[in-house]
Structure 1
Amino acid sequence: MNKYHQLTREERYCITGLQSAGLSQAAIARHMGRAASTISRELRRNRTTHDGRYRAEKAQKYASARRRRARRRSWYSALQWQTVEALLRKKWSPEQISAVLRQKAVCRMSHETIYRYILRDKREGGTLYKHMRIMTKVCRKRYAGKDSRGVLAGKRHISERGAAIEQRQQLGHWEGDTVIG
């Protein structure tokens, strides 16, 4: 048997179609080249709550949500986290800690990982955040909207300046007016 891999969205739609055509779970499994237990588990886990039927779109949402909630083990040992905590208590910044850990070949841990660890500790009632010299605001992801960083609101382009400015008759129309000599 092939190595296990999760069902794709297309396979879920295929299951819905074959089920509505009246095929049994075993027949669907044979048609898709999957184990019957895989199809059975998929149908049992991902049926809708209000009527108990299997719908591919809902099944995909349920599976994605489960994957997001899945606990993943930490890449770092308890000893490595103790080292990080000890350095944080000495008022070291996450950037400094990350650089030292990398330099001493202890582990390769990014400063963002350390910030996430501190914030998780704070949510759980810990006090690591109190040892930070500066705790920046929690970053937000900018998925939607236009990126406005570095853009001044209401600023006109230089080509839109008036004709009087082009003649440079008044104080302030020269670029060098504000330069101290």
Structure 2
Amino acid sequence: MEKVRVHKWSLDACVGHAKLLPKFQNQLIPSTKTLYNLLWKDELPLTLFELPEVLSRRQRGKPRISKHLNGKSIDERPEEVNDRNTFGHWESDTVLGKKRKGEKAAFTIVERLTGNYLAIQIDEKTTNGVAAAVAQLKVEYGDKFSQVFKTITTDNGSEFADFATFEALGTKIYFAHPYSSWERPINERTNRILRKFIPKGKSMNGFTPEDILSFADEINATPTKRLGYHTPEELFEAELDRIYSAN
């Protein structure tokens, strides 16, 4: 129960991770479906509100609406990125607390192969805020930046109006179509997980930059079904090791 309440794991993550541990016998581990059935019957010491993904409903994307793109369209993105079989391709966006002037936000970016998620608090949801976040990443990864961030596909919001200029760092930048969040599915899905820590409408001004980083750390330490119940953190660190050892 601690993994769900404190670390915000899903029941499926708990089941999958348990199967990787030698201390549990697989035949004694209940299936994900069984646990969710027990939850709905109120036979688990958890409430539905501690697992908000159970209550969420999949929403279809809105129709595309013509709007000027901030740079190269996602339509120009190489097939290698679409296949999600190679490392270094990212999706990004911003997450806002309350919609008001002076409200802090988070610049979020997730690697498509490993699912590793970075969240950096910015002073405002503006081009300057986004630029400050990218500057932090450049300091973090130095001359390996373009190897870690080969491409970034981002939202077409006004805060990304100058984002194409970061191609000067050696990274190819692509923009999703307006009102087409489903074109950045991993980022959208992971941002919803971040909302477990920062509910929509709750001011982000009450959180420190360290808080935002720690929420991303929690997400990266969560086993994921798509990754064979390994964690994004494990796979990302392995990819970084390859980059740094090759040089």
TM-score grouping bracket, smaller chain normalisation: under 0.3
Greater Rg by CA: 1
Q: Which has the higher contact order (CA 8 A, sep 6+)?
A: 2
Name the structure with the higher strand share: 2
Structure 1 length normalisation: TM-score? 0.26
